[in-house]
Amino acid sequence: MDEYRLSHDSLGEVRVPKEAYWGPQTQRAIENFPISGLRLPRRFIRAQGIIKWAAAKANQEVGALNRDRAKAIIQAADEVIEGRWDSQFVVDVYQAGAGTSQNMNANEVIAHRAQEILGGQIGDVHLVHPNDDVNMAQSTNDTIHVAIHIAGAEAVVHDLIPAISRAENMLKAKQKAWMNIVKTGRTHLQDAVPMRLGQEISGYVGALSYWRNVLSSGVEKLYAIGLGGNAVGTGINAHPQYKSKAIQYVSEKTGLPFHPPDYMFTFIQNLDAVLEVSGLMRGLATAVGKIANDLRLLSSGPRTGIAELKLPAVQPGSSIMPGKVNPVMAEMMNMICYQIIGYDATVQQAVAAAQLELNVMMPVIAYNFLSQISIMTNGLDAFTQKALTDLDIDIDRITGFVEMNTALATALNPYIGYDKAAEVAKTAFREGKTVRQVVLEQKLLTEEQINQALNLERITHPQHET
């Protein structure tokens, strides 16, 4: 019995581990939801701390919370923000609807820590009460939703966008270094007209740039937060000035331009901004997955594949085939991209489950939304460091493929017409010759005309550039 303390909530008596900073409602959640062992991530816990910090400051300023309690709550919330009490956030992702257990987990941890700061005992609620003081002017219904916005915005701005930029900049360097290397283009996985390797890489740079810019714009939707809307949007039990002050303090703590939503009741009922940014994550995953797939194809081999690119060897590739090396970083990136698409599908379905004044699926929305940002950030950084940084080329193979490319006959169209050029291409393929050899043998053009028609510098010069 000494290992536990007796606590009480509105349903009665609960045994809570003696040293735990959580209280009876969190303990009930532990016992009721032994589902996955998954917890909401660090960024979400940080966001909860920011909300409680901002609420305490706002409530003190409007005269609703006395100075000593506010000061203790602010200190305890700061410790949560810093990560000191992460081990005390113990509620499973699959929990009570809307995240009531998660909100109470934060309220109880902060209240008991504040109680301790004021000289009281953990478990006592006479000096600082989880509901009356820490949760003052708040509801699960606004705070969990707001925490998703804060955590998502911070993760996109501080983690994801820099990771995209690092990958983009590395590819830009490759683009510049390889711009004068002519290679075979491929469409339908078949040989196509020549292009420059730098041009091919620029396609990847542009894709990352596009989604970085879209996400930079899309994240602004997360800055609208309905803190102060409380249970259904009316702000019951909150001081009239609480909302504006609390949101102001959230902005102060994060350095991001959070502001009240245009329509408070829309915010409380829906998670439209989260749905939108999640969809952008799906788009980014689609683009990054294509890049990873291309690098796998272009490095396939090393003897019997395309093998124009050489991905760094970072670990042995087979448990049975000695010496085999696989494109593991690209494969890892593909898996991440597929998982993100799955996360987004969960977010979409859960957002669609909103009913009347509330969406009760917020915990699973939070987990899937924040997880996709986290794994894409970590994946891109690993991919950049382990695959893109030392990505290399096989110049002899690239050049050899260009010489044997029958699609070079396309450049003959203005000289001998499509039909005759098609015959040249088929003859070259059938006889294992180059297009140049066939044209010379058949005396279709003079050597000067051939040199002009098959000038790779001219053929691959981007026509839209000056």
Q: List the catalytic residues.
A: 188, 318
Name which of 104, 96, 128, 78 is nearest 32 in CA terms. 96
| Residues 345, 349, 355: CA angle, nearest 5 degrees | 160
What distance separates the 2 farthest-apart alpha carbons in the chain? 101
Task: Give, in order, the Cα–Cα distances in Å from 312 to each of 268, 390, 395.
Answer: 49, 6, 16
CA torsion sign, 27 to 33 to 37 to 43?
negative
Q: What is the CA radius of gyration of the chain?
A: 30
The CA distance from 336 to 330, in Å, is 10
Region class of 123: left (phi > 0), else alpha (psi between -120 and 50), else beta: left
The DSSP code for 463 is T
At 372, list the tokens: 């996709």
Q: Which residues contact 354 (CB under 8 A, 6 or more apart)?
A: 269, 270, 271, 361
- The C-alpha atoms of residue 177 and residue 174 are separated, in whole angstroms, by 5
Residue 36: CB atoms within 10 A of its CB come to: 11
Query: How many degrees, rounded to 5, is the angle at CA 164 between CA 158 and CA 169?
Result: 120
- Torsion over CA: 173, 177, 179, 181 (sign): negative
The separation between CA 463 and the C-alpha centre of its own chain, rounded to angstroms, equals 36
Closest CA to 125 of 9, 41, 279: 9
CA-based nearest residue to 67, from 138, 128, 5, 135: 128
Beta strands in 239-394 (DSSP E): 309-310, 392-393
**10 Å Cβ neighbour count for 356?**
7
Burial, 82: exposed, middle or buried (Cβ in 10 Å; 0-12, 13-18, 19+)?
exposed
- Name the helix (H) or strand (E) containing 4: strand 4-9
Structure tokens at 419: 């039909």
What residues are paired with 196 via a beta bridge? 182
β-sheet bridge partners, residue 16:
5
Residue in the structure block whose two tokens are 């959640």: 29
CB 230 within 8 A of CB 237: yes
